[in-house]
Structure 1
Amino acid sequence: MLKKEQIFSFPVILFIILSGINLLLLNLPLTNVLHYEFSAINGILQSFLGGLLAIDLAKKKSPNVAINYNIIPSHYKLFLIFTFSQFFISFAFNALFQICPFSEGIWFYFIVTVPSFFIGIVLGLFCFSLSNKFSYLIFTLFWLITLLAPLSELYLNPQIY
């Protein structure tokens, strides 16, 4: 039987948030099909939540001692569940309720979403190595700067079509 601490742990809460957002995305017009839009939004979400998860696991493993970077081998099952559960939810929804082909969407998911999750993990570990105390804040700032960086080019160099 699961204890209260195991049910309400940080990774489980992040997983529930991610699954809830993905179930909501399956009801919106462009993201209800496993294609680029679904993969792009999922990549953004999973990079952020992957970084938060990496910081949380690194804090549990080495709160005041040298940083232990081997959280991926020790928690690979959690990372695989985190990454591919959303794919299976969307794949099942597509197979049951959509008539659109999803062969391209599978490639988009593996090219966009899976690397974004691991980039978020690496960025989270980097921010944890900079500051143990303010790692969540530093990660959020780095993540927002990385997310909003392409907007400067769109604003400063507009294209006329």
Structure 2
Amino acid sequence: MPEAIKTYVRLVDRFNRVIGRIVMWSIFAMMAVLLWSSISKTFFMPSQWTLEMAQFMMTGYFLLGGAYALQLDSHVRMDLLYGRWTPRTRAIVDAVTVFMLFTYLIFLLIGGVSSTSYALKYGETSYSSWAPYMAPVKIVMVIGIFLTFLQTTSIFFKDLATAIGRPIR
């Protein structure tokens, strides 16, 4: 593999590893929001913002952590035949089937950018009584999808290198 591709793989992997490890700690912030929700419902007036804020935080957690999950190969995979194949056969099949994931991510990215631009242009708010602006969560959504696209490209290059017998370490 050319050195530029190896550098790309290393940079994307390192960046997504850092983002993934930072985002994984946000579970404690979500827990704090939900704990406050329980406390406020029990002892005070219920907070209007807690449930929706937890949903927004979960969206960021899921989408920003998606690239890291791909990197760790911790996503769900049907292992009917895959587990019996050699690493090279797996890499060949993965290098071919990754184009379905590319297509899916491109459509998600196009829709996300369109939705984000609408939210920014018209000041879109949620329909809840709290009515927060939707642009921040949509921006996080687009960033997460983009990082997943970059990680998918990195995985494609690693699979291609393994398929031709020169794995990238």
Mark yes or no: TM-score above 0.5: no
- TM interval, shorter chain, is 0.3 to 0.5
Normalised by the size of structure 1, how large is the TM-score?
0.37
Whose Rg is larger?
2
Normalised by the size of structure 2, how large is the TM-score?
0.36
